[in-house]
């Protein structure tokens, strides 16, 4: 199974040469100007803005066609206005720092290519919704992590640990593979209309992380977690609007995971 | 300003920091200070795997792993440390599995393993499947699993606290031989409020990760600015082997985002503009799976000799097109998505443009095998520990093998955490000097003062000049001339940095301020890297001097120790621990 993947490497030179010419575009990049309309908020009074008052500010930025929103935010911060504040780290969609609302949709700034965002019109950028705004695009993540902690996001096996690894078949692993990809960016939870109106709701990300353990064959605490999610602020609040699935930068089938949890509760079977 | 007291303070919540916290928080009052939320740490970006001779899919042996590590490191590895790492690797992987890490599995349910560059059976006879992995998200799974266990154990985190200074009982450079130098604590800035706090601790563990942002093209996060290394350096401690930086062969062209070696482990091939599999010329026996320094130089040479691809002929192609699309999607889902998202290239049918990217600091804060930090070639600082990429044990020598860092952070993170807790159990609570925070307050107030007008230098400009100069003159190929060239630039950059001001004058969430402070760290580290590289007139592992193209064991089979002194960087050396493997020429 492991090595079956190879066709014949040597016969593929022609294809590779094609590839070499096809990516010729890589290397020459067009530049253009975009307008970013950014929702700002300074917890300390500055200029004509009162402490904590939200306002919009427009920036004109020269960008390359290969650049992402994060690059444009950096250009502003490094060349125009050092006070523009946002979180970021990895810059390629794996750390979950820079979820924001871009043209009305939750995305990671480091994965949102400017050329895909209708750059002939101003691009709007706002903090994700439903969590308290602390400064510009930075929100308070504590309520989000608190819900995460509540679903007991750690393996709880019963019995003594074996000497070697616990066995798990590829099929058993496949049941929860999708939800292991979560980077806790909060894009899903803060795109959920139920969460916006009811901050008590656990939100999709917590359910995703519960799913990751509920369907892990090595875990024995599925029912403890399901009990928690059966609560009035749990899965039944979900109205299946699919915003979360659309928002997830990791391509996790969030709504499907929530449905599987609901099904387990309804059928009493994991 | 608040003053806190803990038994153990851990700085950093990546793999190394959290592994240490899991040990120490069971036994002592532990705080973890981290500038990022733990799950944002760059360990989460690691893709390919974690090495351990489990023998789950083919015969393997930890002793072969030691040999590969020593040879891969071009014999600059301390062999006693490598032996510990490779022996403890097996339990380190099994521990993670028991914590819940979802490794890929074999048909019979065991942890699956795959090939990775430089890992062989029987001392180089043939590649061996040693890398334990979870698709191409192994680091993500390690980071998540360790964080989950920290939640379970209720580890106390101070998120978005930037440690900016280390306070020792006396200046380690003026302390006499045999004198006791001990840790008293750290000074940290809280991002949310801008307040500066002091933490007194019996033991401090640095686990602050790498320093890839010294370079422009890098696989490292924006936040990997070598803070822990620079803080130790400023506190008078040496840094070891900083001239050895690993340039990973396959960074996404123009961006530096990593395409894991797993792509080649799964059968990917590098090709030049003529479609030639050029690694056959450079490493006839293991070809595309030769160690990273060898492959990175081969790519740079192909480009330099005019066989690069694209309009500027400045990259090569990573070809996966002969693999079945299902196999690619199953084993390499993330990295193929990077190629699609960022370059618009479809790896199923097209070669992916790649060029070497600054990836890993082999050097760092020198430690013993228990994570104790050295203040010179022989003496340690009481209560101070370091682990992970910011440390240099040294298990990676002149070139780290792929999958050995995720291993390193787990093995030595655990050891450092245990040693820190054991030390705290018998040490008194140190009292910090009255003006412990003075240095940090000084830096912060200077940057906040000033008008921030157009006439004062901008940190952003200084940073990009530094990074561009380092890419141009201190990357895969180095000469005395290129190194002197960039070295001559640094004092000017430092002088401008001393006059630089920032625009954000607020206290809360002032990332403008913190980026400027991080730039200060990068400037200090660049000096150390360059001084070590210039003095090392030989080529070994990741350090390649075109004017001294061969390894010179007579003169340079030794570790560099660099100190920051009032008169600039001074260098000293320390012997390499050689137990079993006598240095030989490295052929693949
Ligand atoms: C893209 C990529 C892929 C990789 N793939 C592999 C692989 O497949 N296998 C392998 O073995 N290795 C791999 N590596 C290397 C490996 O991932 C890293 O070396 C390792 O994860 C470093 O872990 P760490 O815990 O030392 O640091 P990090 O995970 O970087 O954590 C550093 C921590 O320090 C904190 N910190 C930093 N400065 C401060 C400060 N001033 N104050 C407070 N906190 C601070 C941060 O908040 C963070 O929590 C890869 C590296 C990269 C970049
Ligand atoms: S499920 Fe997706 S969107 Fe939600 S937190 Fe996880 S990665 Fe982010
Ligand atoms: S910066 Fe890490 S996900 Fe965007």
Q: Give the one of A88, A167, A176 whose C-beta lies nearest to B222's C-beta.
A: A88
Q: What pLDDT was estimated at residue B368? A: 98
Report yes or no: B503 and B512 within 8 Å, Cβ to Cβ.
yes
User: Which helix or strand (DSSP H or E) is residue B33 part of?
Assistant: strand B30-34
Lowest pLDDT segment from A15-29, A53-67, B506-520 = A15-29
Segments of chain B with pLDDT less than 50? none
CA atoms of A49 and A18, how far apart (whole Å): 56
Q: Give the pLDDT of residue A18.
A: 45
Read off the pLDDT of residues B197-244 as tens digits, 9 standing for 90 and up: 999 999 999 999 999 999 999 999 999 999 999 999 999 999 999 999
A135 touches chain B (CB under 8 A): yes
Per the annotation, the verdict on B292 as an active-site residue is yes
Structural domains in chain A plus CATH codes: 11-139 (3.10.20.30), 142-267 (1.10.1060.10)
* Structural Rg of chain A based on CA atoms: 22
pLDDT reported for residue B456: 87
Mean pLDDT in residue range A50-68: 94
Please report residues of A whose CB lies closer than 8 A to that of B319: 12, 16, 19
At residue A57, the 3 state secondary structure works out as strand
Helix (H) or strand (E) holding B65: helix B62-72
Compute the average pLDDT of residues A89-114: 97
- Say yes or no: A168 contacts chain B, CB-CB below 8 A: yes
| Ligand 3: centre distance to CA A55 (Å) | 25
Residue numbers in A near B332 (CB within 8 A):
none
pTM for the model stands at 0.95
Give the SS3 label for residue B333: helix
Q: A265 CB under 6 A from ligand 2?
A: no
Nearest CA in chain B to A250: B334
If you search the block for the tokens 């390359």, which residue do you land on? A64
pLDDT at residue B69 in the model = 97
Name the E strands within B60-139: 113-121, 126-132
Strand (E) positions, B308-455? 316-319, 352-361, 365-366, 372-374, 380-386, 391-392
Q: Could you say which residues from 108 to 127 on chain A have a Cβ atom under 8 Å away from some Cβ of chain B?
A: 111, 113
Q: Does the C-beta of A45 come closer than 6 Å to ligand 3?
A: no
Q: Using CB atoms within 10 A of its CB, is residue B194 exposed (0-12), middle (13-18) or buried (19+)?
A: middle
Cα(B43)–Cα(B338) distance, integer angstroms: 18
Of A46, A165, A184, the CB nearest to B111: A165
- What separation in Å is there between the alpha carbon of B187 and the centre of ligand 1? 22
Question: Which of B493, B566, B553 lies closest to B523, judged by CA?
Answer: B493
Note the pLDDT of residue A19: 46
What pLDDT does residue B312 have?
92
Number of CB atoms found within 10 A of residue B164's CB: 26
A20 touches chain B (CB under 8 A): yes
Report the residue from B37, B310, B322 with minimal CB separation from A26. Answer: B310
- Residues of chain A contacting residue B314, judged by C-beta atoms under 8 Å apart: 27
Whether the predicted pLDDT of A29 surpasses 80: no
pLDDT at A7: 39
Residues forming beta bridges with residue B315, ordered by sequence position: B309
Residues 6+ apart with CB under 8 A from B466: B214, B489, B490, B493, B519, B522, B523, B526
Residue A166 CA to ligand 1 center (angstroms) comes to 27
Segment A136-157 mean pLDDT:
97
pLDDT of residue A20: 42
Partner A contacted by B275 (CB < 8 A):
yes
Binding-face residues of B in 236-265 toward A, CB within 8 A: 253-255, 257
Give pLDDT tens digits for A172-198.
999 999 999 999 999 999 999 999 998
Q: Give the mutation target among A87, A141, A185 for probing the ligand 2 site: most ligand atoms within 8 A of CB.
A: A185
Cβ–Cβ < 8 Å for B32, B226? no
State whether residue B468 sits within 8 Å of chain A by CB. Answer: no
3-state secondary structure of B371: coil
- Cβ contacts of B39 on chain A, cutoff 8 Å: 95-96, 183-184
């Amino acid at each position: 199974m492991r090595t079956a993947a190879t066709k014949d490497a040597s016969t593929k030179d022609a294809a590779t040469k094609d590839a070499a010419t096809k990516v010729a575009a890589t290397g020459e990049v067009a530049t253009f100007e975009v307008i970013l309309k950014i929702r700002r908020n300074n917890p300390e009074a500055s200029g004509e803005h009162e402490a904590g008052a939200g306002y919009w500010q427009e920036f004109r930025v020269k960008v390359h066609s290969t650049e992402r929103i994060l690059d444009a935010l950096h250009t502003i911060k490094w060349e125009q206005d050092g006070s523009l504040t946002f979180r970021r780290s990895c810059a390629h969609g794996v750390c979950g720092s820079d979820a924001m609302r871009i043209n009305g949709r939750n995305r990671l700034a480091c994965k949102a290519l400017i050329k895909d965002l209708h750059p002939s019109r101003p691009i709007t950028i706002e903090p994700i919704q439903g969590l308290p705004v602390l400064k510009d695009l930075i929100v308070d993540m504590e309520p989000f992590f608190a819900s995460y902690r509540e679903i007991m996001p750690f393996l709880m096996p019963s019995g003594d640990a074996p000497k070697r690894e616990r066995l798990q078949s590829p099929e058993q692993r496949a049941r929860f593979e999708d939800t292991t990809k979560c980077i806790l960016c909060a894009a899903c939870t803060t795109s959920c209309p139920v969460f916006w109106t009811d901050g008590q709701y656990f939100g999709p990300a917590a359910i995703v992380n519960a799913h990751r353990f509920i369907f892990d064959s090595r875990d024995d605490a599925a029912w403890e977690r399901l009990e928690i999610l059966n609560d009035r602020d749990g899965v039944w609040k979900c109205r299946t609007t699919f915003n979360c699935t659309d928002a997830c930068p990791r391509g996790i089938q969030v709504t499907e995971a929530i449905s599987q949890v609901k099904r387990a509760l309804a059928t009493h079977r994991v | 300003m608040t003053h806190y007291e803990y038994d153990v303070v851990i700085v950093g919540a990546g793999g190394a920091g959290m592994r240490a916290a899991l040990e120490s928080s069971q036994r002592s009052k532990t705080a973890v200070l981290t500038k990022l939320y733990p799950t944002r740490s760059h360990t989460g970006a690691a893709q390919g795997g974690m090495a351990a001779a489990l023998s789950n899919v083919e015969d393997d042996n930890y002793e072969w792993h030691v040999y590969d590590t020593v040879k891969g490191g071009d014999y600059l590895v301390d062999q006693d440390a490598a032996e510990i790492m490779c022996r403890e690797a097996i339990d380190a992987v099994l521990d993670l599995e028991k914590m819940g890490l979802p490794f890929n599995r074999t048909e019979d349910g065991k942890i699956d393993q795959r090939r990775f560059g430089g890992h062989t059976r029987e001392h180089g006879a043939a590649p061996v499947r040693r890398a334990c992995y979870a698709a191409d998200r192994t680091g993500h799974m390690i980071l998540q699993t360790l964080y989950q266990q920290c939640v379970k154990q209720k580890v106390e985190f101070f998120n978005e606290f930037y440690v900016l200074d280390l306070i020792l009982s006396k200046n380690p450079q003026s302390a006499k031989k045999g004198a006791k130098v001990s840790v008293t604590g750290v000074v940290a800035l809280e991002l949310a409020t801008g307040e500066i706090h002091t933490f007194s601790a019996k033991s401090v563990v640095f686990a602050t990760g790498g320093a890839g942002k010294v370079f422009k093209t890098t696989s490292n996060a924006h936040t990997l600015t070598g803070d822990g290394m620079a803080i130790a350096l400023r506190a008078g401690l040496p840094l070891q082997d900083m001239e050895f930086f690993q340039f990973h062969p396959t960074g996404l062209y123009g961006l530096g985002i990593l395409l894991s070696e797993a792509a080649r482990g799964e059968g990917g091939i590098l090709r030049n503009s003529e479609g030639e599999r050029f690694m056959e010329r450079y490493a006839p026996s293991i070809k595309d799976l030769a160690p990273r320094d060898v492959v990175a130089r081969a790519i740079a040479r192909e480009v330099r000799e005019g066989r690069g691809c694209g309009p500027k002929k400045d990259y090569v192609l990573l070809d996966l097109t002969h693999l079945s699309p299902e196999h690619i999607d199953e084993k390499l889902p993330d990295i193929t998505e990077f190629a699609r998202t960022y370059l618009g290239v479809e790896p199923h049918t097209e070669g992916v443009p790649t060029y070497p990217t600054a990836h890993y600091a082999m050097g760092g804060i020198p430690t013993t095998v228990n994570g104790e930090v050295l203040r010179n070639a022989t003496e340690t600082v009481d209560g101070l520990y370091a682990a992970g990429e910011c440390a240099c044990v040294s298990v990676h020598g002149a070139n780290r093998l792929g999958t050995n860092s995720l291993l390193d952070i787990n093995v030595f993170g655990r050891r450092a955490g245990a040693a820190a807790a054991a030390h705290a159990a018998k040490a008194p609570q140190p009292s910090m000097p009255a003006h412990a925070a003075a240095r940090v307050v000084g830096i912060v107030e200077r940057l906040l003062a000033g008008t921030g007008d157009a006439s004062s230098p901008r940190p952003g400009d200084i940073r990009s000049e530094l990074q561009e100069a380092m890419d141009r003159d201190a990357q895969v190929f180095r000469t005395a001339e290129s190194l002197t060239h960039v070295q001559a630039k640094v004092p000017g950059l430092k002088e401008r940095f001393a006059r630089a001001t920032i625009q954000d004058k607020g206290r809360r969430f002032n990332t403008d301020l913190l980026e400027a402070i991080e730039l200060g760290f990068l400037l200090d580290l660049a000096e150390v890297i360059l001084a070590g590289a210039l003095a090392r007139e030989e080529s070994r592992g990741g350090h390649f001097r075109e004017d001294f193209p061969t390894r010179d064991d007579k003169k340079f089979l030794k570790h560099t120790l660099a100190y920051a002194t009032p008169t600039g960087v001074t260098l000293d050396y320390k012997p390499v621990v050689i137990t079993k493997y006598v240095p030989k020429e490295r052929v693949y």
